[in-house]
Amino acid sequence: GNSVTQMEGPVTLSEEAFLTINCTYTATGYPSLFWYVQYPGEGLQLLLKATKADDKGSNKGFEATYRKETTSFHLEKGSVQVSDSAVYFCALVGGATNKLIFGTGTLLAVQP
């Protein structure tokens, strides 16, 4: 079945550091890929998405490129801020069931 694997956290960075959170997936066919973010005490909200190979999703300075050859969708940001501290979830939708499958989440803590 479909699955998502993302790097374990927590990831602790200083403000203005470069961020990479790795995400790889297993799926049949051509899934759509998503990054969701959960700020403390809140629900999840969509950060960015890509629906086909080589697409780049971007939002709020974050980027991720759909790499079918490596089955990856790594999240990057060139300069993180304290306000980026949150849990980040990689997810996919694929196949006939339309189910959104999540990775385990990566906690990012950005220190001033």
Which residues in this chain contact other proteins in the complex, by CB under 8 A?
Answer: 29-32, 34, 36, 42-46, 49, 51, 89, 93-105
CB of 16 to other proteins, least distance (A): 29
Closer residue to other proteins, CB minimum distance, 11 or 17: 11
* Burial class for 106, CB neighbours closer than 10 Å (0-12, 13-18, 19+): buried
In angstroms, the first-to-last Cα distance of the chain is 41
Where does the chain have alpha helices with state H? none
Closer residue to other proteins, CB minimum distance, 1 or 61: 1
CB of 111 to other proteins, least distance (A): 22
CB of 105 to other proteins, least distance (A): 5
d(CA 13, CA 73): 21
Closer residue to other proteins, CB minimum distance, 74 or 94: 94
* Strand partners for 58: 63
d(CA 89, CA 37): 6
CB of 13 to other proteins, least distance (A): 21
